[in-house]
Amino acid sequence: MMKASRILWKKWCSIVILAAFVLAFCSTAAAFTCPTDCNCFVVGADSRTYYSEFNKTLQFIKPNKAQFDFMVLPGDMDYVLVNKENYTDVELPGLQTYWVVGNHEMDVGDEVNISNLYPSLPNTLYYYDDSLRTTYIAEYDNLYIVVLDEYREDTRGNIPRNGPQFAWLEEHLALLDPAKKIFAFGHEPAYPEHNHENDSLNQFPSDRDALWSMFDNNSVEAYFCGHTHWYSMNDSMLNVTQVDVGNMRWWGDLNSTLAYVAVNDTTATAYIYLNSTKGTVLDLIDTYDITNDYYTQTTIYVNETGWWRAGESFNSATDPIKAAEANANDGDSIFIYGGNYSESIQVNGPANLTIIGENVSVVNITGTTAPVFDVRESGTNLSRVNLTPPSGDFGIRLFDSQNCYIDGIRVNGGESGVNFYGSGNCSLTNSIITGCSVEGIRLETRPTSGHNACYNTIDNCTVLNST
C-alpha cells in the first residue's frame, strides 16, 4: 500500500508540472500549482552582483509566489542587502526566504548581513548559535529544512567531523520526527561536477563522508547547494540526492536555474527549470524523485496503543514495542514516540535492529517480568529510552550478543542497569544509571557458552546510588 501511495503521488505531482510546462509556451511565465497536501518550496543560488539577471530570474517565480511556502538561496548572493532590495522590488517579500552563507559572502563580510536579515527566523526549532543565526533547523508542516554555514569553522568550506557544528547537527537531527522529510542546504557541493572539483567539501574527504553518512542515517532526502555555477544532480551516494542548482545569472553553464520541490508525507519530487536566454521563460528540463527510502522502507513507528509502517495501516497492540519487534525485519528501525509503556521486550529475531526513542525524557518503559530489554541478537542498537526494570532484574541484558550499541539511555532501579552477559565488542555511552540494588553495570561470563564479556566500551556514563 505504501509503494502504491508513493507512485500515485508522484504521478499527481508530475501531471501538475507537465501542465505547467505546456502553459509556459502560451504565456509569459509558466504556471505552477503546488499539489494538494504538498508543501512546496523553491531553491536558487549564485546570483553574485548580477542584479539585473537575478531580477529577471525572480520574475519567473513571481506568478507562482502563492504556491510556495518558502525559498532558499544557498549562497553567493552578494551583496545580500542589495539583492534583498531586488527581491522586494519584484514583489516577493511575502515569500519567506532563507539566505545561506557562501564563500563570496565571506569575502565581502555578508555573513553578518545574512544574520541581521531576521531578528528571529520564522518556524525555527534549533539554532547552532543564537548570536549569528546562520546555522539552524526550521519546520514546515511535513518537512524540516537544515541550513548550514560551511565557513563557520573553516573559511575554505568544511564542517569538521570533530568540530562543534558537526556535533550540534548530529544531536539535533536525531531529535527530529523521522516521519517528516528533511532537506539540507549549504553552499558547497559534497560531490562537485564541472567546476570547483578540487575545492568543494570534497577537499576534506573524511569530513565530507562523515557528514554524508550522518545525512543518510537521519534520512535526509536531499542536499541543495550551488558554488559550481553548473546545474547537476547526483543520487549515487547512499540514499541522499545532491542537487547543485547552478546559478541565477546565466553564468557557468550559461543557464539560469531554479528548483521547485513538492513534498507530501511519502514522496519528495524536484522539478528543474532553466533557460539559456536571458529574460525568457525557464523550461522544465528535469523531474525526479528525491525521496530517501532509508526510513520510509525500514522504520516501524510505535505509540502507546500500537504500531505501523509509513503509508500502511495501524495495528493495535497491548505491548506495542514487543509487537513491533516481532514484526520487524533484518536492518529495520523501531521509532518509539513519547509515552508510558509497561512491557518487557526480548530482541531475538531480526538482526541489526535499531530501537530509538523520541527522547529519553519522554519515552518511559517499565519492565514487567524480565529485563526491560533482553537483547539476544547481535548488531542491535538501542538509544534514547528511560527504563525502570522489575525488582531484582536488569534494565538491559546483552545476552551472548556482539557488536551492540547502547547510547543515551537512563535506567532507574532494578538489580543492575546494564548486564553484559557473555557479550563482547559492544558499547555503552552517554547514559545515566541510578538506584540499582547490586551494581550499575555488570560484566559477566556466560558459563554455558564460555563467552566472556570482553572488548566492550563504556564511555561518558554516570552510575549513582548503586551498591
Residues 6+ apart with CB under 8 A from 457: 426, 427, 428, 429
Please answer whether residues 270 and 16 qualify as being in contact, where contact means their C-beta atoms are separated by less than 8 angstroms. no
pLDDT recorded at residue 236: 74
pLDDT recorded at residue 175: 82
Could you tell me which residues are beta bridge partners of residue 175? Answer: none
* Nearest residue to 433 (alpha-carbon basis) of 417, 415, 451, 422: 417
Dist CA 32 CA 14 (whole Å): 11
Dist CA 92 CA 243 (whole Å): 24
At 302-337, the pLDDT tens digits run 999 999 987 688 999 999 999 999 999 888 889 899
At 87-130, the pLDDT tens digits run 888 888 888 999 999 999 898 888 888 888 876 778 888 999 87
pTM of the complete model beyond 0.85: no
Residues 6+ apart with CB under 8 A from 120: none
Please answer whether residues 266 and 221 qualify as being in contact, where contact means their C-beta atoms are separated by less than 8 angstroms. no
Q: Is 222 exposed, middle or buried (0-12, 13-18, 19+ CB in 10 A)?
A: buried
Residue % of the chain over a pLDDT of 70: 91
Q: Can you tell me the mean pLDDT for 285-301?
A: 80
pLDDT recorded at residue 196: 92
For the domain 2-295, what is the CATH code?
Answer: 3.60.21.10
Please answer whether residues 211 and 218 qualify as being in contact, where contact means their C-beta atoms are separated by less than 8 angstroms. no
Residue % of the chain over a pLDDT of 90: 51
pLDDT recorded at residue 7: 32
At 353-382, the pLDDT tens digits run 989 888 888 999 999 988 999 999 999 999
CB atoms within 10 A of CB 424: 19
167 pLDDT more than 70: yes
C-alpha cell at 446: 556466560
